[in-house]
Structure 1
């Protein structure tokens, strides 16, 4: 079977605008949460989020790109450029017919949609939509833009599975390389949904935390006092490559992807199955494909968004698959980055890859009182990263509609 390795990473996150700062802030337990600056939140129940810091697209893109692309596409381009530089990839030396792009987003150009509809509704009723309105809002457009910029003519599409989207994209990229349909794929996800529509919508669904007095401590996965997730924004890019192809070009290899599992809860529009039925199927499928046993996994980056039902059902599912094992480390990096929706899996995949490479388990922050039934069952690094010998790490993502996507990474060995 063709091995699939990781040869480049790019991160644009609420706790760092590059891979190094993202990782350093993550292992040191830095929160990315703060008051929302993008719009007036006076009448909103939730008035905070995990926004990007010190990042203005106008500083990085030509005015033509700013006019043509929504923020989620600009975030994608920024992260991908990082990943290509990080991977020391000479674009012109590649067979571009064998390089693909599989890029995801849950909401696509929701900012563009909101802005254009507001202009229409607040105007005189004359439709003065920008000619870029439709391409800006399409969820697949970032994948197409990346392909166009670099001339990659291989497989190109955008899977959409809500908050499981970028893990789904990773699994699809893994499969296409494994099936010998590509030698390299740029994959990941981006999201730019900190606006009135998204914050208002998720708030009405009672999914968001309302700890406005203390935003930096609001995201507290596994804690008995958790009250909802914190919205995040940004992008994560991962370059997957066939092993021999990577070796031939002298690439630095950061990790390996060895299994992926997708399933469905088939239970509820927005809620996870109480017994974690879909999560159990997804995790077991990832293990089966990797050919390893549950006891071989050292770390799980949990989906754990800090919602009451979601965190508990995932812990139940993990217990059903992995049993009780104090040596198994689990953490929720969303406690620092917030929930990046369709981009969550990409950012958390990078966290897993770097955890394996550096031998450090990222922490969960803000959590003080873990659900009593689980606090002594697994290892929960709290506050700061914890050194541990790691060989396998799993990343879980779940999405509205019952979508499940679990990815299994392995520490790279020749």
Structure 2
């Protein structure tokens, strides 16, 4: 089984179930977001869990021969760790269970007085704690965007069993960080501008520029952990994290890194952020029922909902992961990036930018359209965006009767003229 995910911009990545031969079927069950025990059952593998959390099962198409896929363990990329900061807290399994329970993390904003705003709700994080991950002095200085990034990144490393004592015995020049942000340190930037206008340039904090620029998440995480491999950020609005996963995987494929810490981080639920997106006319205004405001593919959809948080994956070459006995959660198969070259916010109505990106991603992953049975869509709840994305999916996947589409969002999201899609599978080695 292959799953495909992306944003209406056009970038695609791919994940897959453990490859069992060209015609082998696979069954998997997950405890939270990871499989626990696997065993061979005839021509298939089963991943089992005895935990209480709700399980998912998916069956791969067994009649379609897959295109040729990468076999070199040095170039195969797997996911060995996950970390996040979200409206549901900072624990992966709790986060996943609450999603499965259908809970919404959207509520009325109380971080600032939004009573005069036409949009007064969002995915605001409350009671966030960085204790044990950021020292008190830096914690007080940092923009929330970077606080979320540091905690999510460190938790992902812990989840991958890459704590300080393990990293001390590794070649850190082969471990990189690529965590992007669409907005960067918006609070730091806003505070700096306010200081300039109200008090003059001499009152601007020396942290104004460093904590505003979008590469600071990757930089701070590398400084904190001593990781000396490729380090930069990508900023492509809603597609940012997808671009980061795609680029991180290519660093591993080219042999430039053994491990990449990759993901995205955002913290734009402040007056400037919400006000700016209201001005773009992109946000839902369903203030009377905020928990139901995001309605992808619904005829009454009226825009997306702003959120915040950070999500980070540990991406690693299969060879390196197996040598150190890492827990393999999933395998990245391939990805692609394209551009609509059409409009700042509206996608092409025919979905060509998206469909061409999906096709390129499938080719890169060595996955046939018939193998895909799950699509995690961009699903912005905008009139133009949802329609274009559905048109693109129908164009690539001729028979969509068995494809499940979802629009689950974990961090913030908005429409943009770029895009990324990815394909992959869950596995347990």
TM-score (normalised: structure 2): 0.80
Q: Match for residue 111 of structure 1?
A: 187
Return the match for 1:35 from 108, 114, 118: 108
1:153 and 1:24 map into 2 onto residues whose CA distance is 35
Q: Residue 179 of structure 2 contacts residue 234 of structure 2 at CA under 8 Å; is this kept in 1? A: yes
1:28 and 1:95 map into 2 onto residues whose CA distance is 42
Question: How far off is 1:244 after superposition?
Answer: 1.1
Mapping 1:141-180, distance limit 5 Å: 141-180=216-255
Q: Match for residue 426 of structure 2?
A: 411
Return the match for 1:311 from 379, 383, 386: 386
Mapping 1:97-246, distance limit 5 Å: 97-123=173-199, 125=200, 127-246=202-321
1:5-28 C-alpha deviation (Å, 9 max, x unpaired): 000000111233221111001111
Question: How far off is 1:274 after superposition?
Answer: 0.7
Question: How far off is 1:112 after superposition?
Answer: 0.8
Are 1:277 and 2:349 counterparts? Answer: no
TM-score (normalised: structure 1): 0.82
Question: How far off is 1:409 after superposition?
Answer: 1.1
Q: Residue 15 of structure 1 contacts residue 21 of structure 1 at CA under 8 Å; is this kept in 2? A: yes
2:135 and 2:378 map into 1 onto residues whose CA distance is 36
Q: Residue 15 of structure 1 contacts residue 31 of structure 1 at CA under 8 Å; is this kept in 2? A: no
Report 1 or 2 for greater relative contact order, CA contacts < 8 Å, sequence distance ≥ 6: 2
- What is the aligned residue count? 353
Q: Match for residue 124 of structure 2?
A: 51
The 1:266–1:52 alpha-carbon spacing in structure 2 relative to 1, beyond 3 Å, is same
Question: How far off is 1:46 after superposition?
Answer: 0.2
1:126 and 1:226 map into 2 onto residues whose CA distance is 44
Q: Match for residue 167 of structure 2?
A: 91
1:306 and 1:157 map into 2 onto residues whose CA distance is 31
Question: How far off is 1:69 after superposition?
Answer: 2.3
Q: Match for residue 36 of structure 2?
A: none
Q: Residue 134 of structure 2 contacts residue 150 of structure 2 at CA under 8 Å; is this kept in 1? A: no
Question: How far off is 1:177 after superposition?
Answer: 0.3
Q: Match for residue 263 of structure 1?
A: 338
3-state SS of the aligned residue for 1:409?
strand
1:252 and 1:116 map into 2 onto residues whose CA distance is 44
3-state SS of the aligned residue for 1:241?
strand
1:221 and 1:258 map into 2 onto residues whose CA distance is 27
Report the structure number with the largest CA radius of gyration.
2
* Structure 2: stretches of 5+ with no match in the other structure: 1-71
3-state SS of the aligned residue for 1:163?
helix
